[in-house]
Amino acid sequence: MYNVTGKKTEDQVLIELSGRIDSNNSPEVEKKIDEILGGQTGLPVTVNAEGLEYISSAGLRVLLHLKKTNPSLTIKDVQPDVYEIFDMTGFTQMMTVEKAYKVISIEGCEEIGSGVNGSIYRIDSDNVVKVYKNANALDEIQHEREVAKIALILGIPTAISYDVVKVGDSYGSVFELLNASSFSNILATRPDRFDWCVNEYVRMLKRIHGTVVEEGKLPDMKQTVIKWVDFTGKYLPEEIGNKLRSMVEAVPQDMHMIHGDYHTKNLMLQGDEVLLIDMDTLAHGYPIFELASIYNAFIGFSEMDHEHVKRFQGFDFDTSCRFWKEFLRLYLGTDNEEVINSVANKARIVGYTRLIRMSIRRGGLDAPETLAEIENWKRELIELVETTDDLLFEKNEITVPAETDNWPKVLEFIESRMEAAECSPKVMMQVELAAEEIYVNIAHYAYAPGKGDATLRIETYGSPAEVTLTFMDKGTPFDPLKKDDPDVTLGASERDVGGLGIFMTKKVMDEVTYEYAEGHNILKMVKKT
Amino acid sequence: MLDINKKIDGTAMTVAVSGKLDSVTSADFEAAIKESIEPITDLTIDMDGLTYISSAGLRVLLSSQKIMNRQGSMKVVHVNDTVMEILDVTGFADILTIE
């Protein structure tokens, strides 16, 4: 059984197809479509396929023919089974084929996350839906799916939507997310898990910021920030606006990934796995831009109205401030207040630039409360721009091609960090020795016979500082600690220098641990004071 | 990073090293010894001013000691405390003749 109906107006043709279309009836279907068109070619044609149950290749040929005479052809509301036929035969590449969207309701569903562009609700124990604010969100959904896929392929754990649904007048994308709880929720209900949350939060961010994105795959955050500056600059004294712009323009091109909306509602704990959600703001760029949006989420938005963070994140302003401080300390790998404050101030510059623009665009100048907020942000911004020269900061890690020739570069980096942390010459020498032995090992063996990168992260906390070094490489999984210690009592003729480096490392450092995780050899060592 | 001074007097050679003996500089140290070691029966490694030694440096000391065990003798002089600590930990203090 099948049915073809339709109507033609002056500027378009609507055709409704239903039932089963196969080789038995396709000649009749084609004839009926021709009747509806009445010989007219080139008009936009929309085929409503809501009632279409099946279409064989004979039926597809009819549509192909229709596409030839009327190139602007859209097939819409296609049921999932039928869509699969279109997809398998490559028709989705040749013409616009839109799926019929399942309609779901979020009434009474728990809101478990929210971001700039939408909110996430749990629809049952296994699934969540992200409902977009924008009514025409199909492009956004498509974009988010694509960037989430890019992130997943690059090793960032995230949920990818498997279906698009209609939610009231909006669209939503459906994800599988089992028994997951957001970090905001954990912070609000489990104060004892505060340290764990900050640690995992920093770990995930380091992972994002350590991921290099291919040119053209993601937007350049710097270009976005320049747009913010262009807007907000108009509300600032001219020389401040100019200085702000030149500081942003001087930020180096950076191909590392940035999440763009990295707050604790967008980090989920599913079982014992930490997952990122809300990927639509994914970009690449210099990490100060990320720190800016983090500052806004935890403090910036709530500077005047401390209850704001409670409403949005579920925890109080005090927790939020503590989180921001501890986050920055761990992210920068130092508790040097001067360093931390300097980076925080740079983040605030970009943060306020964005907040002012956002609020003004939402009509913030028209209400006394939001106007006061804008004035406050402006005051802070002007003062910070006046006293700041650039938006750069020193990362606590270095990545180099793992070759012995690059050792001096790595050494210079850790020496300068240890000097800044006022480590004693003896500690510096011992850390240097351990670092050299591990680095040389990676350079010789990790990628042999190929080549690859080595990353070294350094953290210095306390005074005199305890030093933690973390080496990471993506080479062959190898645990150097498993090797037996050499026999150091043997005479010269029986001795072999093999294994001595690791042995010395273990001797001079207080803790040395190895793990293979997320595709990396991770060797961590601590020198206590 | 590493200063190398070599003095040869008949079959005696003194190689003085100061600075750091690490994975980058050890190759030069090794070359300096190896190119002249053939006729040598008395080898002295003078470590005055040497502040650092990693396993790459130890490797050169060991191979030199092995050669000298066959053709003469070798001693190491002017070892500072930090370097001595490394030689102790690795058992090299027992292999080498340190003065």
Q: Does A429 sit within 8 Å of B22, measured CB to CB?
A: no
Distance from CA of B9 to the nearest CA of A (A): 26
Of A408, A492, A497, the CB nearest to B59: A497
Specify the pLDDT at position A200.
96
The answer as to CATH 3.30.565.10 being correct for domain A397-527 is yes
Cβ distance A473 to A518 under 8 Å?
A: no
Q: Which of the 8 DSSP states describes residue A54? A: E
Pick the CATH number of A189-387 from 3.90.1200.10, 1.10.630.10, 3.30.70.1520, 3.90.1010.10: 3.90.1200.10
Q: Residues of A numbered 399-428 whose beta carbons fall under 8 angstroms of chain B's beta carbons: which are they?
A: 404-405, 407-408, 426
Distance from CA of A458 to the nearest CA of B (A): 20
Q: Indicate which of B23, B61, B63 best probes the interface with A, i.e. most A CBs within 10 Å of its own CB.
A: B23
Chain B residues within 8 angstroms (CB to CB) of chain A: 1, 22-24, 51-52, 54-56, 58-59, 62, 65-66, 69, 82, 86, 89-91, 94-96
Q: Indicate which of A437, A439, A441, A488 best probes the interface with B, i.e. most B CBs within 10 Å of its own CB.
A: A488
Pick the CATH number of A2-100 from 2.130.10.30, 3.40.50.10440, 3.20.20.10, 3.30.750.24: 3.30.750.24
Per-residue pLDDT tens digits of chain A, which is 529 residues long: 788 888 888 888 999 999 999 999 999 999 999 999 888 888 899 999 989 999 999 999 999 999 998 889 999 889 988 999 999 999 898 899 988 888 889 999 888 777 777 888 988 888 889 899 887 788 888 888 889 999 999 989 998 888 888 898 888 999 888 778 899 999 999 999 999 999 999 999 999 999 999 999 999 999 999 999 999 999 999 999 999 999 999 999 999 999 999 999 999 999 889 999 888 899 999 999 999 999 999 999 999 999 999 998 999 999 999 999 999 999 999 999 999 999 999 999 999 999 999 999 999 999 999 999 999 999 999 999 999 999 999 999 999 999 999 999 999 999 999 999 999 888 999 999 999 999 999 999 999 899 999 999 999 998 888 999 999 999 999 998 888 888 888 887 787 767 788 999 999 999 999 999 888 999 999 999 8
Residues A356-386 as b or e (16 or more Cβ within 10 Å = b): bbbbbeeebeeeeebeebbeebbebbbebbe
> What is the sign of the dihedral through the CA atoms of A328, A330, A331 and A332?
positive
Q: What is the pLDDT of residues B33-87, one digit of tens each?
A: 999 999 999 999 999 999 999 999 999 999 999 999 999 999 999 999 989 999 9
Q: Where are the beta strands (DSSP E) in A334-447?
A: 397-401
Across the range B89-98, mean pLDDT stands at 91
Distance from CA of A294 to the nearest CA of B (A): 41
CB atoms within 10 A of CB A178: 11
Tell me the domain boundaries of chain A. 2-100, 111-178, 189-387, 397-527
β-strand partners of A515 = A522
Specify the pLDDT at position A136.
77
The nearest alpha carbon in chain A to B97 belongs to A492
Q: Tell how strand B73-77 and strand A257-258 pair up.
A: unpaired
3-state helix, strand and coil shares in percent for chain A, rounded to the nearest 5: 45, 25, 30
A504 touches chain B (CB under 8 A): yes
Domain count, chain B: 1
Query: So what's the architecture of A111-178 in CATH?
Result: 2-Layer Sandwich (3.30)
The nearest alpha carbon in chain B to A503 belongs to B90
DSSP A1-32: -EEEEEEE-SS-EEEEEEEEE-TTTHHHHHHH
- Select from A462, A456, A457 the least CA-distant residue to A421: A462
A503 touches chain B (CB under 8 A): yes
Specify the pLDDT at position A485.
84
Write out the residue range of the structural domain in which residue B54 sits: 2-95
**CATH number for the domain harbouring residue B53:** 3.30.750.24
Distance from CA of B59 to the nearest CA of A (A): 6
Helix segments in A220-304, DSSP class H: 221-233, 238-249, 288-298
Q: Does A491 sit within 8 Å of B1, measured CB to CB?
A: no
β-strand partners of A232 = none
